[in-house]
Amino acid sequence: MERATLFILTMHVLIFDFSSGEEMKVHRRSVNVSVGQPILLQTSYTLSNHFLSYVIEWTMGNKTIIDYYADNSSIDRQGFPTWSTGETTIYPNYNGRVEFYPLNASLLLKNIQLEDAGTYTICFSNVRKEIQLWVKEIPSYLGGQVGRRWNITILALRTVLCFVPIASLAFITRY
């Protein structure tokens, strides 16, 4: 009888360990950005307890962007990390173009290009979430200037008669 009781107790502990309660949240499943602009793929995660180690990985298609290997972490009462030590590996295609934020697992992509459009996947503790990134070109009437903001003011003049065509002036200024 004692062996059966010990066996059931051990199984209960193992089941409890496998249902650890880590959660990953993607704040927006689809984002739009213009060529040349940065975009933050915003996420957050919670831990059920203080981990000694865990891994977070960002990929786009079959290309790995970053791996983060956490050595140690601390959490607040809701399970959000308050600090974490670890090593971030940024893969060559993204070196100099990304920043990773380990406390919330968000990824900042800089200088977006058309080929950056696609599905980005974040993996954390058997949880996998996706964000769709849509990239659009800057309109040619703005000169295709990448990374600048434009202000377009259109002034329409109309006479009292409805049959007179509308005259429009467009002022394009950079700020």
CATH number for position 122: 2.60.40.10
What pLDDT, in 10s, does the model give residues 66-79? 999 998 888 888 88
Q: Tell whether 81 and 65 lie within a shared domain.
A: yes
* Contacts with 94 (C-beta within 8 Å, 6 or more apart), sequence order: 65, 66
Which of the two residues, 148 and 21, has the higher pLDDT score?
A: 21
Q: Tell whether 109 and 70 lie within a shared domain.
A: yes
Answer yes or no: is 133 within a domain: yes
Tokens for 1? Answer: 């009888």
CA–CA separation, 82 and 67 (whole Å): 20
Q: Rounded mean pLDDT of 138-149? A: 58
Least confident of 15-29, 117-131, 140-154, 155-169: 155-169
Range of 116's domain? 21-137
Confidence of residue 6 (pLDDT cuts 50, 70, 90): very low
* Mean confidence (pLDDT) of the chain: 76
Q: Which of 63, 69, 137 is nearest to 100 (CA)?
A: 69
Residue 28's pLDDT is what? 94
Answer yes or no: is 8 within a domain: no
167: left (phi over 0), alpha (psi -120 to 50) or beta: beta
Answer yes or no: is 7 within a domain: no
Confidence of residue 37 (pLDDT cuts 50, 70, 90): very high
The SS3 assignment for 92 reads helix
Answer yes or no: is 65 within a domain: yes
* Number of domains the chain is built from: 2
Q: Tell whether 56 and 109 lie within a shared domain.
A: yes
Q: Tell whether 92 and 149 lie within a shared domain.
A: no
CA–CA separation, 60 and 116 (whole Å): 8
Q: Tell whether 107 and 165 lie within a shared domain.
A: no
Q: Rounded mean pLDDT of 10-34? A: 64
Q: Tell whether 113 and 157 lie within a shared domain.
A: no
The pLDDT > 70 percentage for the chain reads: 65
Which of the two residues, 138 and 92, has the higher pLDDT score?
A: 92
Q: Tell whether 49 and 76 lie within a shared domain.
A: yes
Residue 98's pLDDT is what? 97
Answer yes or no: is 9 within a domain: no
Answer yes or no: is 107 within a domain: yes
Answer yes or no: is 76 within a domain: yes
Confidence of residue 157 (pLDDT cuts 50, 70, 90): very low
